[in-house]
Amino acid sequence: DIQMTQSPSSLSASVGDRVAIVCRASQTIYNYLNWYQQKPGGAPRLLVYAASNLQGGVASRFDGSGSGTDFTLIISGLQPEDFGTYYCQQTYKTPRTFGQGTKVEI
């Protein structure tokens, strides 16, 4: 299986901050990398697909980048509604594994 490792595992930031979450794959996944946001009690929500493509309806302050094995999700101008846990997922090979998550606290 392809292992996905996220860092940090948690972070605390203030409204308006720029936040970066890193995801590293154990082998190349080209750009088959997606980012999800999950709030307590809710299902995950797709934010970014194919490493850098914003899902429809997602705020433009979310920005994904990277290719190969190293990827980054940046939130520019953190908003109160951005609290939650963020997961990366590779869809290059099955099983389509997720990272362990990054909890963002405001």
Partner 1 sequence: EVQLVQSGPEVKKPGESLRISCKGRGYNFLDSWVNWVRQLPGRGPEFMGSIDPFDSNTDYSPSFQGRVTISVDAAITTAYLHWGSLEASDTAIYYCARRNDTKWYAMDVWGQGTAVTVSS
Binding residues (CB under 8 A) for partner 1: these are 1, 31-32, 34, 36, 38, 43-46, 49-50, 53, 55, 85, 87, 89, 91, 94-101
The DSSP bridge partners found for residue 66 are 71
Our CB check for partner 1 shows the closer of 18 and 93 to be 93
Roughly how many angstroms between the first and final C-alpha of the chain, as a whole number?
Answer: 34
Minimum Å gap between C-beta 2 and partner 1 is: 11
Say how many residues make up the chain.
106
- Residue closer to partner 1 by CB (options 16, 40) is 40
Q: Give the C-alpha separation, 34 to 44, whole Å.
A: 12
Nearer to partner 1, 32 or 62 (CB): 32
> Which position has the token pair 């999800």?
36
